[in-house]
């Protein structure tokens, strides 16, 4: 007679893991609040408000001839070539993944095990603790200073003797940017791998990629989900040293990025003019949106990204008022150090105006 079940085989780390949490789906918002689903606006995901219409001709051409019945080239050759042209890095220093999250998972899979101390700033991207816990590591969180300015010196001290450091720059959800000279001082003071998550690089214009030649322990992670309008296709990549890329590629699944994602990702990277024009439009609109929020009495923190961290007196009431208007915002008010804070993506002017009108009714 069996005395145990499959549940007894769950790893202890997974039993106590607090999973990454999303906001309510658009369909759930529509059903609960009686808003047509096509009118629900996602201010919670930091994605681009622009559809990738510049890729429509490419998609139409691919539809007739793409061998979707076959696996993609496991080297992702066309995509890697486009990333190389965009970044100036050779192919053997590029690691492709199914979104930046898979690239981060490859790093954790390579360097985090039971007892590994992983350093993060706090608050930061919620997937870092999930990845660390998944592989049995121990999280060492370094709190931000006033105004959500990261304490780089404290992060460096915590990083000495640590197994890995995760640093989001610009940071999610605070939108704070660490200057490049401070990043280099940090990387130079620790021996372990240092991950600089640059999901919002195209909006900040600041990258640590140039430091890799002097610091082979550095891994710069990026995505096509934000500035390139391709969140639905899940394309991410890392720039790093040849030696580090070899390690990450050992644990990379052979086919996690689909054929269509490879082709459209490469096409998007070949059309930098469209991406840059849209980034410029979002950054210009960010200034107008910020002014509107401040006129409504909302505290807005400095932002080097395509989103704003705001502080309101009653976040629960504000979130509910926005949902009634079909607007989903990221509620981070229960996170350490983020009392009263919400995170709002900068969208199109007319969409941001809807946000401001709904906020005025809160």
Query: What is each CA distance from 295 to 111, 298, 330, 360, in whole angstroms?
Result: 47, 7, 21, 10
Output the pLDDT for position 65. Answer: 83
Q: Does residue 236 sit in the same domain as residue 290?
A: no
223: β partners: 236
60 occurs within a structural domain: no
Domain boundary among 241, 270, 299: 270
What is the value of pTM for the model shown?
0.95
Average pLDDT over residues 324-346: 96
Those residues with Cβ within 8 angstroms of residue 266's Cβ, 6 or more apart along the chain or in another chain: 78, 79, 81, 82
Predicted local confidence at residue 66, as pLDDT? 84
Which of 270, 299, 333 corresponds to the end of one domain? 270
- Is 266 in the same domain as 278? no
Is 232 a residue whose pLDDT tops 60? yes
Claim to verify: residue 220 and residue 249 sit in the same structural domain: yes
Q: What is the pLDDT of residue 8?
A: 83
Q: Flag whether 12 is in a domain.
A: no
- The DSSP letter of residue 12 is H
Host domain of residue 329: 22-46+273-360
For residues 135-140, give the mean pLDDT.
96
Name, in order, each residue with C-beta under 8 angstroms of 162's C-beta and a sequence gap of 6 or more: 117, 118, 119, 140, 190, 192
**What share of the chain in percent tops pLDDT 90?**
88
Burial class (CB in 10 A: 0-12, 13-18, 19+), 155: buried
pLDDT at position 139: 96
Question: 248 lies in a domain?
Answer: yes
Instruction: Provide the pLDDT confidence category of residue 18 given band limits of 50, 70 and 90.
Output: confident
E strand intervals along the chain: 41-43, 94-97, 117-122, 138-143, 164-168, 194-197, 218-223, 236-240, 299-300, 307-311, 327-331, 341-345
List phi, psi (to 5°) of 130. Answer: -65, -45
Over the range 281-298, which residues count as b (16 or more CB within 10 Å of their CB) and which as e?
ebbebbeebbebbeebeb
The pLDDT value recorded for residue 361 is 85
Ranking 18-22, 26-30, 265-269, 282-286 by mean pLDDT, the lowest is 18-22
219-231 tens-digit pLDDT: 999 999 999 999 9
Per the domain annotation, does 10 fall within a domain? Answer: no
Q: What is the average pLDDT value for the chain, to the nearest integer?
A: 95
Q: How many domains does the chain have?
A: 2
Q: What per-residue confidence (pLDDT) applies to 140?
A: 97
What pLDDT is stored for residue 22 in this prediction?
87
Mean pLDDT of 4-30: 88
Of the residues 215, 236, 270, which one is the last residue of a structural domain? 270
DSSP codes of every residue in 222-244? EESSSTTS-GGG--EEEEE-HHH
What mean pLDDT comes out for the span 299-306? 98
- Looking at residue 64, the DSSP 8-state letter turns out to be H
Confidence band for 2, pLDDT divided at 50, 70 and 90: low
Q: Is residue 9 part of a domain?
A: no
The reply to whether 263 and 291 lie within a common domain is no
Q: Is residue 114 part of a domain?
A: yes
152 with 226, same domain: the answer is yes
Do 262 and 277 sit in the same domain of this protein? no
pLDDT at residue 183 tops 60: yes
Residue 253 sits in the same domain as residue 281: no
Give the whole-angstrom CA distance, residue 308 versus residue 310. Answer: 6
- In DSSP terms, 344 is beta-bridged to 308
Per-residue confidence (pLDDT) for residue 142, from 0 to 100: 97
Give pLDDT, residue 64: 79
Residue 20's pLDDT is what?
87
6 lies in some domain: no
* pLDDT value for 14: 87
CATH number of the domain that residue 192 is part of: 3.40.640.10
Does residue 302 share a domain with residue 193? Answer: no
Considering the domain architecture, whether residues 250 and 179 belong to the same structural domain is answered as yes
* 32 and 171 housed in the same domain: no
Question: Do residues 253 and 283 share a domain?
Answer: no
Q: What is the CATH number of the domain that holds 39?
A: 3.90.1150.10
Q: Does a structural domain hold residue 241?
A: yes
Q: Are residues 286 and 241 in the same domain?
A: no
3-state secondary structure of 299: strand
């Amino acid at each position: 007679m069996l005395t145990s079940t499959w549940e007894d085989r769950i790893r202890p780390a997974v039993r106590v893991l607090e999973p990454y949490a999303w906001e309510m789906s658009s369909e759930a918002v529509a059903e609960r609040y009686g808003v047509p689903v096509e009118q629900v606006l996602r201010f919670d995901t930091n994605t681009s408000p622009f559809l990738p219409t510049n890729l429509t001709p490419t998609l139409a051409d691919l539809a007739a001839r793409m061998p979707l019945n076959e696996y993609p080239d496991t080297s992702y050759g066309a995509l890697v070539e486009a990333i190389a042209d965009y970044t100036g890095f050779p192919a053997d220093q590029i690691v492709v993944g199914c979104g930046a999250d898979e690239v981060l998972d490859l790093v954790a899979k390579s360097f985090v095990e039971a007892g590994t101390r992983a350093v993060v700033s706090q608050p930061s991207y919620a997937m870092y603790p999930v990845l660390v816990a998944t592989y049995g590591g121990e999280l060492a969180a370094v709190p931000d200073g006033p105004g959500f300015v990261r304490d780089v010196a404290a992060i460096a001290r915590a990083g000495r003797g640590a197994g890995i450091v995760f640093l989001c720059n610009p940071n999610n959800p605070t939108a704070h940017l660490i200057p490049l000279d401070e990043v280099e001082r940090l990387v130079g003071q620790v021996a372990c791998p240092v991950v600089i998550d640059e999901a919002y690089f195209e909006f900040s214009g600041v990258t640590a990629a140039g430091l890799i030649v002097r610091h082979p322990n550095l891994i710069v992670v990026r995505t096509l989900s934000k500035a390139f309008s391709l969140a639905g296709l899940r394309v991410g990549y890392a720039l790093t040293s040849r030696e580090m890329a070899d390690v990450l590629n050992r644990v990379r699944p052979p086919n996690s990025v689909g054929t269509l994602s490879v082709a459209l990702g490469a096409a998007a990277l070949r059309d930098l003019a469209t991406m840059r024009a849209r980034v410029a439009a979002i950054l210009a609109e960010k200034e107008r949106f910020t002014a509107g929020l401040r006129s409504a009495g909302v505290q807005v923190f400095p932002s080097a990204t395509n989103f704003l961290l705001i502080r309101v007196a009653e976040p629960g009431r504000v979130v509910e008022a926005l949902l009634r208007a079909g607007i989903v915002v990221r509620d981070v008010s229960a996170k350490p150090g983020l009392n009263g804070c919400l995170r709002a993506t900068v969208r199109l002017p007319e969409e941001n105006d809807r946000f401001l009108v709904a906020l005025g009714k809160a």
